Amino acid sequence: MLIRRLLGIIPVVLGVSMIVFFMVRLAPGDPVEILLPEQATQEDIERIRNEWGLDKPIPIQYWAFIKKASRGDFGMSFKFEEPIIKLIKERLPATIELGLFSFVISILIAIPIGVFSATKANTIWDNMSMTFALLGASFPHFWLGIMLILFLGGSLDLLPVSGRMDYGLQLKPITHFFLIDSILTLNWAAFINAFKHIIMPALTLGIALSALATRITRSSMLEVIRKDYITTARIKGLRERTVIWKHGFRNALCTIITILGLQLGTLLAGSIIIETVFSWPGIGSLLIQAISYRDYGLVQGVVLLFSIIYIVVNLVVDFLYTLVDPRVRI
């Protein structure tokens, strides 16, 4: 089963690469003309196009890209004039750190509220919880981020509004995750500073994405707590907390894990707008720059990375199913 799933990744990645490769070239604008100065001559333009291989037919360009990508080489960035894999490695830790921090926030919000709402179904507490979930799903991410910037960063001046750390603070890079590196090096000043910088963008993503998880948790728990085995557990005299969390929540986990897994993929690969709003130096902001300069290779490398993240997350979710519910293995 695992081997079949791994082999299934190959056509998916090839399909994504083909779509991205051809779609990015349909966008108006020539990267050579965008990046070269206005005084560049036609000879300069043709020479650069030849150096970048843009003068070749599109199918030949795609074949060259696939051959390099299969060796882990995405070529050079037109804009930054650096290897694309190097740029991705530099920016990826920032996106992963923000995504995981936001994921924890969404779990801490969604699961307790969803379970509580299910146990208090059709009461004022349930209505308040679902109102919160509806509001969280209705507010655009960027609007919520801007409001947090204006309130927490502007009016109250409690938190920094951009970047990962204040300029001038020294931190020895080990894992390139600022929070982890500051703990490993016992640099508490850097830890506090990095923690303050990540709070607002993580809250923006966590609150917005917890809305759906809250509603799914509630509906899954409502379905489970109406089962006969839950009634039997209560008749046996088990504590309500044990009935809800040990018997109810565990059996509702498969559906919840599905939603949380998809959200984790979204957080890691879809935080483009939030990274732009908060000037977070991650993969998302790098993709925006690549698109604006028609940096074909960089766009292709980042989108392929996003697709691989989604695939890996789905594989992990399938594996977690077997741990939560052994019947899935059958």
What is the C-alpha separation between 246 and 66, in angstroms, rounded? Answer: 49
Mean model confidence pLDDT for the chain: 84
Q: Which two tokens stand for residue 112?
A: 């307790």
Query: Based on the structure, what is the number of domains in the chain?
Result: 1
User: Does residue 65 belong to any structural domain of this protein?
Assistant: no
What is the C-alpha separation between 204 and 217, in angstroms, rounded? Answer: 20
CATH number at residue 244: 1.10.3720.10
Q: Which residue range forms the structural domain that includes residue 213?
A: 84-329
Does this model's pTM top 0.75? yes
User: Does residue 177 belong to any structural domain of this protein?
Assistant: yes
Confidence of residue 56 (pLDDT cuts 50, 70, 90): confident
pLDDT digits (tens, 9 = 90+) for 272-317: 888 888 989 988 888 888 888 888 888 888 888 888 888 888 788 7
Amino acid at 132: F
What is the C-alpha separation between 320 and 173, in angstroms, rounded? Answer: 32
| Residue 36 DSSP SS3 | coil
Phi-psi sector, 280: left (phi>0), alpha (psi -120 to 50), beta: beta
User: Does residue 194 belong to any structural domain of this protein?
Assistant: yes
Cβ contacts of residue 286 below 8 Å, gap of 6+? 87, 88, 91, 298, 302
User: Does residue 204 belong to any structural domain of this protein?
Assistant: yes
CA 307 to chain centre: 11
pLDDT digits (tens, 9 = 90+) for 62-117: 888 888 888 888 888 888 888 999 999 889 899 989 988 998 998 998 889 888 88
User: Does residue 36 belong to any structural domain of this protein?
Assistant: no
